[in-house]
């Protein structure tokens, strides 16, 4: 099963996902990222950060970014 990495990008840089997740496909990785965004948005707002400044960069095992998903994506 392929491994996908969910790096978080924001105005101050990139927080790399060093572990990744074994998932069936890139599409499943996209959906997993979208499922995580609402909880992360709540956490960011509690810390006083603006979630609009954040996005996931979902990468494959080769490091290719497959998806750039703004934290506003699931709310459109």
pTM attached to this predicted model: 0.87
| Mean pLDDT for the stretch of residues 5-11 | 95
Kindly state the percentage of the chain with pLDDT values over 90. Answer: 88
pLDDT level of residue 75 (50, 70, 90 thresholds): low
* DSSP sequence for the chain: --EEEEEEEETTEEE--SS-EE-S-HHHHHHHHHHHHHHHHHHHHHTT--GGG-EEEEE-TT--EEEEEETTGGG-
User: How would residue 61 be classed by pLDDT, with cut points 50, 70 and 90?
Assistant: very high
**Integer Cα distance of 29 and 35 in angstroms:** 10
């Amino acid at each position: 099963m392929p491994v996908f990495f969910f790096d978080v990008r924001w105005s101050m840089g990139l927080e790399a996902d060093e572990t990744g997740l074994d998932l069936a496909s890139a599409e499943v990785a996209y959906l997993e990222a979208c499922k995580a965004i609402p909880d992360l948005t709540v956490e960011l707002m509690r810390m006083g950060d603006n979630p609009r400044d954040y996005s996931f960069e979902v990468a494959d095992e080769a490091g290719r970014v497959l998806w750039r998903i703004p934290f506003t994506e699931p709310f459109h």
